[in-house]
Amino acid sequence: MKKVNVAIVGATGAVGTKILEKLLERNFPVQSIKLLASKRSAGAEITAGGHKYIVEETVPESFEGIDIAFFSAGGSISEKFAHEAVKRGAVVIDNTSAFRMIEDIPLVVPEVNAGALSGHTGIIANPNCSTIQMVTALQPIREKFGLDRIIVSTYQAVSGAGSEAIEELESQSLQFENRSKIEAAILPSASAERHYPIAFNAIPQIDAFDASGYTLEELKMMNETKKIFGDQKLSVSATCVRLPVVTGHSESVYIEIGKEGVSVEELHALLENAPGVVVQDDPSKQLYPMPLFAEGKDEVFVGRIRKDPEHPAGFHLWIVSDNLLKGAALNSVQIAETLLN
């Protein structure tokens, strides 16, 4: 396989560091890896796979000779530099929300819609973390029986809000234990007017509010799911909540499928053979997915699968995955792997 020159924009962030890890771990055919970040981080050293990398400031010229550029440094950085990278011949795999809903930009989860990659024009969008794990788990069900409706409530980890949010949860937990004043400056989001403690709390706001009363995170789940499945008639509504969990998003997902009378066993069998999915579902052994045990794992874990007693085509599932891996870094690297194949 042809070896490629790779750049990671946002290389010092929570997701950027995982992209580097996954490229090395999966023996991605790299010729060279360039780590890019803000001017502030330039000069930092990152050691991975026995190699020392020096972080460089992102400038338009950074992308000369780059074949694949992973972006994970926030929407404004992607808007500023993605086209510069494409202009210089790179394919951009963007992990922000900047381009996801642009019609001719593919929004891809390889297990679900790898076909959407064909005919891309230089930028490929990686979906939102909470969307990826949900569509990965629902795809085999949708493919076999059809899918009419999704109602999802999320239980999201702080690492989805970046490294600073992880530090905030840890310092607040200590402040709480010491009965000292809880200081909140990052969550629900650094740019928000008001900040609330996340330690020993649950915050029903992720990202900013839209005029509809939904948060952007909720709208991402609703709109991205329809785009990835290529089904604008699919009904999706979401409630997104941040929890005092470091890594691992969980989702309580209610679905109505396109066929009545399907059994839980049939869904089990489908999911057990689905790529990237692990079924952890045995109430008699108290076996079900939990975020603490999903951390560091590549797969999407599904459990608590049960029929809704109130609807002939209704089911509930509990879907958990590492939001930094399948929800971000791993999916981006998988997109690159699919492109190269």
**Least distance (Å) from its own copies to the CB of residue 25?**
24
Q: Annotated binding residue at 31?
A: no
Q: Annotated binding residue at 100?
A: yes
Residue 311 binds its own copies (CB under 8 A): yes
Residue 286 binds its own copies (CB under 8 A): yes
Peptide bond into 291 cis (omega under 30): no
- Which residue among the candidates 129, 195, 268, 311 is catalytic per the annotation? 129
- Interface with its own copies in residues 135-154 (CB under 8 A): 149, 151, 153
- Which residue among the candidates 249, 268, 311, 316 is catalytic per the annotation? 249
Residue from 241, 266, 268, 269 binding its own copies (CB under 8 A): 241
Is 129 in the active site? yes
Mention every residue, 6+ apart, whose C-beta is less than 8 A from residue 48.
Answer: 20, 21, 24
Residue 167 binds its own copies (CB under 8 A): no
Q: Strands 91-94 and 147-155: what pairing?
A: unpaired
Residue from 115, 275, 308, 312 binding its own copies (CB under 8 A): 308
In total, the chain counts a number of residues equal to: 341
Q: Annotated binding residue at 41?
A: yes
| Total of residues contacting its own copies (CB under 8 A) | 61
Residue 110 binds its own copies (CB under 8 A): no
State the distance between the two ends of the chain, measured CA to CA, in whole angstroms: 9
127 and 98 Cβ atoms separated by less than 8 Å: no
Strand partners, 203: 242
145 and 259 Cβ atoms separated by less than 8 Å: yes
Residue 245 binds its own copies (CB under 8 A): yes
Q: Annotated binding residue at 115?
A: no
96 and 33 Cβ atoms separated by less than 8 Å: no
Q: Strands 249-257 and 314-321: what pairing?
A: antiparallel
Rg (CA), the chain: 20
CA distances from 108 to 48, 148, 191 (A): 27, 21, 28
**Least distance (Å) from its own copies to the CB of residue 211?**
9
Is 240 in the active site? no
155 and 291 Cβ atoms separated by less than 8 Å: yes
| Catalytic sites, residue numbers | 129, 249
Residues that bind its own copies (CB under 8 A): 149, 151, 153, 155, 169-170, 173-174, 176-177, 188, 192-194, 196-197, 200-205, 209, 212-214, 222, 235-237, 239, 241, 243-246, 250, 252, 254, 264, 283-286, 288-292, 303-311, 314, 316, 318
Binding residues for phosphate: 100
